[in-house]
């Protein structure tokens, strides 16, 4: 399952300083089971981008899962955490 995270580069900041660091995704598989996947940021024009790929169990196809995205931050961009509810597409 590929997921892309993008955010804009702040005004007055360079891509090199804004797009450094890593992003982690925590996917809630069941009530007790979680999957944590990490990816690094790259610059893509006027945005910072992280492309993260992971394999999920087939039984999640067509169901909704909770995904928590965490970025610790760097010198140009403050850290953030975002919780999303996403539907997994069927293959």
The domain spans of the chain are 2-87
Digit-coded pLDDT (tens) for 25-84: 999 998 899 999 999 999 988 899 999 998 888 899 999 999 999 999 998 999 999 999
Digit-coded pLDDT (tens) for 6-30: 988 888 888 889 999 999 999 999 8
Under 8 Å CB-to-CB from 57, ≥6 apart: which residues? 29
CATH fold for the domain made of 2-87: Immunoglobulin-like (2.60.40)
Under 8 Å CB-to-CB from 64, ≥6 apart: which residues? 85, 86, 87, 88
How far is residue 3's CA from residue 42's CA, in Å, rounded to a whole number?
14
What's the start-to-end Cα distance of the chain, in Å? 10
Structure tokens at 4: 């892309």
The structure's pTM equals: 0.82
Q: Pairing between strand 64-73 and 78-87?
A: antiparallel
């Amino acid at each position: 399952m590929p997921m892309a995270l993008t955010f804009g580069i702040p005004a007055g900041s360079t891509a090199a300083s804004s797009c450094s660091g890593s992003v982690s995704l925590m996917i809630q598989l069941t009530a007790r089971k979680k999957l944590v996947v990490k990816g690094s940021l790259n610059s893509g024009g006027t945005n910072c981008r992280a492309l993260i790929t992971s394999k999920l169990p087939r039984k999640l196809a067509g169901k909704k899962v909770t995904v928590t995205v965490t970025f610790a931050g760097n010198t140009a961009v403050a850290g953030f955490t975002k919780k999303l509810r996403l539907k997994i597409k069927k293959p």
